[in-house]
């Protein structure tokens, strides 16, 4: 590497680090929720009024009080698949795969992140086994290594490999394997379309009981789909900032949802996004005038401070990791300094953070 190239690289890295530093905070380890609350809707809710900066400490069950009859709650109905597979190479070494979704190169092929001892090599023969029934499993071959760290695995097209997998809990939830609680609770009650490798966590708070309360209060619901993948949970890289784009994720905006949003806006009510995933679907499919283009496709939308929100009026979301694209999205909606101040207050007040943690409502 030449001296000039090295200098450009170091300056780029410095800008990247300084940008991420602006979205950093220190979180005590005991604030990271390791288990869901006893009741699905038993968490706390920090309400932030964006215009005044006023903060209110509430409970999740208080959500209907903060919304108005005629407001529209937009949910992500993607279902988490049992995408973490454990097994071994034909030579005997242990392997672990996180399946990210089908690869377009052929039937039975899956994109994945693969962890193994030693350097990954194409041609490896792999055997993945069910944790509960080791005699059951499936075979795969490592077909190719991708530039972004992914691999392509080839399975029998007649077999669904997620049948032998487990819930892909994030690494900050410190247990070797998911327990029975995780199977039910790391999934929204309205999850339908299989495809996510991490939960759309804001929706984890919405119990059937709370959804009934919202309905009785005149608050309507509509659905979108974003299959959570690398774009949502992978640590940010300098290339992401350079391009202003994230890794692509599959989305769908139904015609019925576009109509419901248009009607909500016509009568002067608010569109309330449940989570960053729903937000990204809506803002990805928005025209400049705020109208929506229904349909399915992919999004790599990266919302950062300065981004314009054309559709979303309020946001229900969890507390996110520092230096992450999710925190940047929330900061772009609520203001960086205001959000970091709210996070600091949440830490002082003992809120629980991340996937199984508490929530905040930005109005």
DSSP string, 3-44: HHHHHHHHHHHHHHHHHHHTT-----GGGB-SS--SSTT-SE
Rounded Cα gap, residues 183 and 80, in angstroms: 10
- pLDDT mean across residues, the chain: 93
pLDDT of residue 16: 56
**pLDDT band for position 242 (cuts 50, 70, 90):** confident
14-18, 103-107, 158-162, 263-267: least confidently modelled range: 14-18
210-224, 240-254, 329-343: least confidently modelled range: 240-254
Question: Whole-prediction pTM value?
Answer: 0.92
C-alpha pair distances (Å), 71 with each of 66, 142, 312: 10, 49, 11
**pLDDT band for position 235 (cuts 50, 70, 90):** confident
Rounded Cα gap, residues 316 and 326, in angstroms: 13
Rounded Cα gap, residues 230 and 239, in angstroms: 14
User: Does residue 7 have a pLDDT over 60?
Assistant: no
Only one residue has tokens 């000039």, namely 4
Sign of the Cα torsion 111, 112, 113, 116 reads: negative
| Alpha helix (H) residue ranges in 49-166 | 63-66
For the chain, list the domains and their CATH numbers.
26-80+180-362 (3.40.1780.10), 84-164 (2.40.10)
- Can you tell me the mean pLDDT for 141-170? 93
The tokens of 28 are what?
């005590």
pLDDT in tens, 271-322: 999 999 999 999 999 999 999 999 999 999 999 999 999 999 999 999 999 9
**pLDDT band for position 175 (cuts 50, 70, 90):** confident
Collapsed DSSP state (helix, strand, coil) of residue 55: strand
pLDDT of residue 8: 35
Only one residue has tokens 């988490």, namely 80
User: Does residue 233 have a pLDDT over 80?
Assistant: no
Q: Long-range contacts for 54-58 (Cβ within 8 Å, ≥24 apart)?
A: 55/342, 55/345, 57/349
Rounded Cα gap, residues 324 and 235, in angstroms: 6
According to DSSP, the residues that pair with 354 across neighbouring strands are none
- Can you tell me the mean pLDDT for 58-70? 99
How many CA atoms lie within 13 Å of 151's alpha carbon, on the beta-carbon side?
Answer: 23
How many CA atoms lie within 13 Å of 223's alpha carbon, on the beta-carbon side?
Answer: 10
pLDDT of residue 238: 76
More confident position, 305 or 13? 305
pLDDT of residue 117: 86
pLDDT of residue 249: 94
How many CA atoms lie within 13 Å of 226's alpha carbon, on the beta-carbon side?
Answer: 33
Helix (H) or strand (E) run with residue 266 in it: helix 255-266
CB 44 within 8 A of CB 59: yes
More confident position, 2 or 117? 117
57-61, 127-131, 133-137, 200-204: least confidently modelled range: 133-137
180-189, 238-247, 326-335: least confidently modelled range: 238-247
**pLDDT band for position 219 (cuts 50, 70, 90):** very high
pLDDT of residue 5: 37
pLDDT of residue 162: 94
- Can you tell me the mean pLDDT for 260-270? 98
**pLDDT band for position 14 (cuts 50, 70, 90):** low
Only one residue has tokens 């077999």, namely 159
The tokens of 169 are what?
């809990």
Is 251 buried (19+), middle (13-18) or exposed (0-12) by CB count in 10 A? buried
Only one residue has tokens 């327990």, namely 179
pLDDT of residue 176: 79
């Amino acid at each position: 590497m030449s001296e000039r190239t090295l200098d450009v690289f170091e300056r780029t890295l410095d800008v990247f680090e300084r940008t991420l530093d602006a979205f950093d905070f220190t979180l005590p380890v005991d604030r990271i929720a390791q288990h869901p609350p006893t009741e699905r809707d038993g968490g706390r809710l920090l309400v932030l009024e964006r215009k005044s900066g006023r903060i209110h400490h509430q409970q999740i069950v208080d959500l209907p009080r903060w919304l108005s009859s005629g407001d529209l709650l937009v949910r992500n109905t993607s279902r988490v698949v049992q995408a973490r597979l454990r097994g071994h190479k034909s030579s005997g070494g242990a392997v672990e795969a996180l399946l990210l979704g089908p690869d377009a190169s052929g039937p039975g092929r899956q994109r994945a992140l693969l962890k193994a001892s030693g350097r990954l090599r194409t041609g490896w023969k792999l055997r993945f086994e069910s944790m509960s029934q080791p005699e059951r499993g499936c075979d795969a071959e490592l077909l190719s290594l991708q530039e972004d760290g992914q691999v392509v695995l080839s399975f029998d097209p007649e077999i669904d490999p997620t049948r032998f997998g487990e819930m892909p809990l994030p690494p900050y939830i410190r247990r070797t394997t998911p327990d029975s609680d995780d199977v039910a609770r790391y999934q929204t009650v309205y999850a339908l379309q299989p495809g996510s490798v991490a939960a759309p966590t804001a929706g984890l708070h919405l119990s059937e009981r709370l959804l009934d309360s919202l309905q009785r209060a005149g608050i309507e619901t509509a659905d979108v789909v974003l299959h959570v993948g690398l774009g949502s949970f992978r640590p940010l890289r300098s290339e992401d900032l350079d391009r202003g784009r994230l890794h692509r994720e599959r989305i769908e905006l139904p015609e019925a949802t576009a109509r419901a949003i248009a009607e909500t806006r016509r009568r002067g009510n608010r569109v309330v996004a449940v989570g960053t995933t729903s937000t990204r679907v809506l803002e990805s499919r928005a025209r400049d005038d705020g109208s929506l283009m229904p349909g399915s496709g992919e999004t790599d939308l990266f919302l950062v401070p300065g981004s314009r929100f054309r559709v979303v009026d309020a946001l229900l979301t969890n507390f996110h990791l520092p230096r992450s694209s999710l925190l940047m999205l929330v900061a772009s909606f609520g203001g960086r300094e205001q959000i970091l101040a709210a996070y600091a207050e949440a830490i002082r007040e003992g809120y629980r953070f991340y996937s199984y943690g508490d929530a905040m409502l930005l109005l």
